[in-house]
Structure 1
Amino acid sequence: MLLDLDGVLNPFGATTCPDGYLEREFYPGEGPERYCPAHGAWIKELAAAGDLHWATAWGEDANTLFAPVLGVGPFPVVPFPPLPFPPEDKVPAIARAAGDRPAAWIDDNHTAAGRRWAAGRSAPTLLVPVDSALGWTRADVDRVLAWAGEL
C-alpha cells in the first residue's frame, strides 16, 4: 500500500476547507495544510491489510509532522527526489518500493508513466486516483481493502 499525502490526505485543490477537515500550518510560512482526523482509522485499516508506505514528497515529515495528528505510524517512507520534481519521477521510487509484490498506489496525480508501470507489472497492481479537490474518500479505502482481500 503506497499512500500519498498532498492531494490525498491534504485536499489542497479544494477552494475551502472541506467538511470534516481541519487546517494546520505544518511548515511555518507556507500556509495551512488540511487533514481529516477520521483518516487515522482508515490508515490503520490499510496497514492491517498490507504493508503501508508513505509515498509522498513529505518524506520523513509524513511520520514526524503528519502522522502524529492522525494517531498513526510511523510507516516506511518511499524516498523521492528532492523537491521540486515532476510527478513522473515518483515512478522509479515506487517501482523499487513495490518490488515484485502486489501494490496499491493511492495518489492524486497518476501520470502516463505510472499507468505504464502498473500495466506492465506481473504482480497485481491497483492505481487509486484521488481528486485533490475532494481528498481521500471511504470509497477509496473500501476499494483498496476489497482488492487486497481478493489477493
Structure 2
Amino acid sequence: MQRKPILFVDVDGVISLWGFVQDDPPPGAYASVDGILHFLSATAGEHLLALREHFDLVWCTGWKDRANDYLPHALGLPEPLPWLEFGAPAERTAHWKLDAVTTYAQDRPAAWIDDAFDESCHAWAAERGAPTLLVATEPPTGLQAAHADALRAWAAALPRTG
C-alpha cells in the first residue's frame, strides 16, 4: 500500500493570522489559547480537511502538542495530529525546525506550509532525495485556496509506487 506524502503544517501565519488591517480582517474569529488571543482563519480548517485525502498532516509549529489541545475542535478536524518536537538546530545557520522535519520525513515525499522559510529551508528542499514542496504563506491571510490547490496538484503528480 502506498503511503501518502507528509504535509508539515505551521500554525502562526498559516492558521493563526496576524498583521492584517484591524478594520478589514480576513474571515475568521479570535480564540483564546493559553490566555493569548489568536485570530484563527475561517477557511484553514476546510482546506486542511480536504488535504487529509492527499497527505498525512503533521503539526510543525512551536505550539507543539498544544496545537491538539485547541485546533482540531476549532478547525473541525476529526482527530489530533502528530506533532514535531524541536531542539536547537544542528547547524547555527539552519532554520530551527529543519532537524525535526528531516528526522520525521525520512525518505518520504513531503510538503511544508509555513510563513517563515529561509535560505536553509530552500537548500534543504532542493537537496532532499525525496520529492519536496515548500509552500509559503503570508501571515495576514494564511492558508488560501490557491495554496491547497497547489498542494493537491503536487501530490497528484507524485510517481506512484508500491
Q: CA deviation at 1:50?
A: 1.4
CA contact (8 A) 2:14 2:142 kept: yes
CA distance in 2, matches of 1:54, 1:12: 19
Pairing 1:66–2:71 present: yes
Report the 3-state secondary structure (helix = DSSP H, G, I; strand = E; otherwise coil) of the residue aligned with 1:143: helix
In structure 2, the partner of 1:106 is 113
Structure 1 counterpart of 2:133, which letter?
L
Q: Which moved more, 1:41-50 or 1:2-11?
A: 41-50
Within 5 Å, which residues of 2 pair with 1:1-151? Answer: 1-16=7-22, 18-28=25-35, 30=36, 32-72=37-77, 73-81=79-87, 88-151=95-158
Query: Any gaps of 5 or more consecutive residues in structure 1?
Result: none
As a proportion of its length, which structure holds more strand?
Answer: 2
CA distance in 2, matches of 1:105, 1:5: 11
Task: Indicate the RMSD between aligned Cα atoms, in angstroms.
Answer: 1.8
Q: CA deviation at 1:106?
A: 0.2
Give the number of aligned pairs: 146
Length-normalised TM-score, structure 2 = 0.83
Structure 1 counterpart of 2:50, which letter?
E
> Which runs of structure 1 show a deviation greater than 6 angstroms over 4 or more consecutive aligned residues?
none
Length-normalised TM-score, structure 1 = 0.89
CA distance in 1, matches of 2:149, 2:58: 18
Instruction: Give CA deviations for 1:17-63 in whole Å, capped at 9, x if unaligned.
Output: 723110112121x3x10112332221111111111101111011111
Instruction: Give CA deviations for 1:104-140 in whole Å, capped at 9, x if unaligned.
Output: 0000001111111101011110000001122111100
Query: Any gaps of 5 or more consecutive residues in structure 2?
Result: 1-6
As a proportion of its length, which structure holds more helix?
Answer: 1
Q: Measured at CA, do residues 131 and 122 of structure 1 come closer, stay the same or move farther in structure 2, by a change above 3 Å?
A: same
Report the 3-state secondary structure (helix = DSSP H, G, I; strand = E; otherwise coil) of the residue aligned with 1:95: helix
Structure 2 counterpart of 1:138, which letter?
A
CA distance in 1, matches of 2:84, 2:94: 14
Q: Which moved more, 1:101-110 or 1:37-46?
A: 37-46
